[in-house]
C-alpha cells in the first residue's frame, strides 16, 4: 500500500549562509503507513520538532520532499497548503496552544469553522467521549487543569478527522499519571479512527508502546525499531 506520508532526502538548515547556520535535518528518508503509530525519539536538539513541523507543513524544507499519498506537499500553492494542513493534519503541541478567550468547545471547533465546515456530530461525540471531556465544553482554558487542556487540544487536533495526527511531546507538561492517561486516550482514539499517529517523545516507556520507533541523532535517522 502507498505510504500516507513519505520524506525524501529531507533537509532543513536554519539561517543558511550565515555563521549561525544550523543543519537541523540532514537527509531524512522515512515512510509512514496509514493507521500505524510511530514514536520519534532522540536527544534534545536532534531535530524532532523540526521534522514534525515539516511533516505537517508548518515550515518548509531547505531541500528534499514530503509526499502525502505520493503527492509532493510543497509543490502546492499557499492556499492548497493551508487546506492540506487543515484537512489532513491534526497537530498537538506541548504547550496546548488553546485560545484563552474561547471555551473548550469553541477551541475544538475552531479549525473546522476556519475551513467553513460544520462538525460531524457523531464523530465529534465519539471523540469527546473517548477523551472524557463532554462535561468541560463550556469552560475556558484557565478553568481547566493541564491534563484537561491537553485533552481539549487533542480533540481540536482530531475534530476535522485528519488522516494524520502529529504530536510534539504532548504530555511534557503533565505529571506522570496524567501523562500516561492522556497518552492512552490519544492512542486509543487514533486507533479507533484509523488515523496515523506520529508522536515525538523523550519518554522511553511511551516510545516502547509505538509500533515503530524512529531514533534521530544530530539530524539523521540512526535507528528504526519495529514491534510487529
Ligand X SMILES: Nc1ncnc2c1ncn2[C@@H]1O[C@H](COP(=O)(O)OP(=O)(O)O)[C@@H](O)[C@H]1O
What's the alpha-carbon Rg for the chain, to the nearest Å?
A: 17
Q: Which element (helix H / strand E) includes 30?
A: strand 22-32
**Residue (7 or 189) nearer to ligand X, CB:** 7
Quote the CA–CA distance of 55 and 66 in Å, as a whole number: 7
8-state DSSP, 121: H
Shortest reach from residue 43's CB to ligand X, in Å: 7
Q: Which does 171 bind (CB under 5 to 8 A by kind): ligand X, Mg ion, none?
A: none
* Residue 18 interacting with ligand X (CB under 6 A): no
Shortest reach from residue 158's CB to Mg ion, in Å: 21
194: burial class by Cβ within 10 Å (0-12, 13-18, 19+)? Answer: exposed
* Residue 14 interacting with ligand X (CB under 6 A): yes
- Alpha helices (H) along 47-134: 48-55, 78-88, 104-114, 121-130
* 3-class DSSP assignment, residue 178: helix
Q: Which does 123 bind (CB under 5 to 8 A by kind): ligand X, Mg ion, none?
A: none
Shortest reach from residue 149's CB to ligand X, in Å: 21
Shortest reach from residue 202's CB to ligand X, in Å: 9
Residue of 4, 24, 197, 221 interacting with ligand X (CB under 6 A): 24
Instruction: Show contacts with ligand X in window 38-57 (CB under 6 A).
Output: 42, 44-50
Q: Where does this chain bind ligand X (CB under 6 A)? A: 14-15, 22, 24, 42, 44-50
Amino acid at each position: 500500500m502507498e505510504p500516507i506520508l513519505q520524506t525524501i532526502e529531507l533537509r532543513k538548515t536554519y539561517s543558511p549562509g550565515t555563521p549561525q547556520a544550523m543543519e537541523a535535518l540532514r537527509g531524512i528518508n522515512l515512510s509512514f503507513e496509514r493507521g500505524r503509530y510511530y514514536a520519534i525519539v532522540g536527544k534534545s536538539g536532534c531535530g524532532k520538532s523540526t521534522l514534525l513541523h515539516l511533516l505537517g507543513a508548518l515550515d518548509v524544507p531547505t531541500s528534499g520532499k514530503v509526499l502525502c499519498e505520493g503527492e509532493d506537499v510543497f509543490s502546492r500553492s499557499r492556499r492548497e497548503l493551508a487546506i492540506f494542513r487543515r484537512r489532513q493534519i491534526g497537530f498537538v503541541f506541548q504547550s496546548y496552544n488553546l485560545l484563552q478567550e474561547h471555551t473548550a468547545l469553541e477551541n475544538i471547533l475552531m479549525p473546522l469553522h476556519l475551513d467553513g465546515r460544520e462538525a460531524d456530530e457523531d464523530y465529534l461525540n465519539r471523540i469527546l467521549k473517548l477523551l472524557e471531556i463532554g462535561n468541560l465544553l463550556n469552560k475556558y482554558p484557565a478553568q481547566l487543569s493541564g491534563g484537561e487542556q491537553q485533552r481539549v487540544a487533542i480533540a481540536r487536533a482530531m475534530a476535522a478527522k485528519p488522516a494524520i495526527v502529529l504530536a510534539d511531546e504532548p504530555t511534557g507538561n503533565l505529571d506522570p499519571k496524567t501523562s500516561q492517561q492522556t497518552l492512552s486516550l490519544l492512542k486509543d482514539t487514533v486507533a479507533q479512527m484509523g488515523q496515523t499517529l506520529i508522536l515525538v517523545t523523550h519518554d522511553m516507556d511511551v516510545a516502547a508502546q509505538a509500533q515503530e520507533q524512529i531514533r534521530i541523532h544530530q539530524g539523521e535517522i540512526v535507528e528504526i525499531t519495529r514491534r510487529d
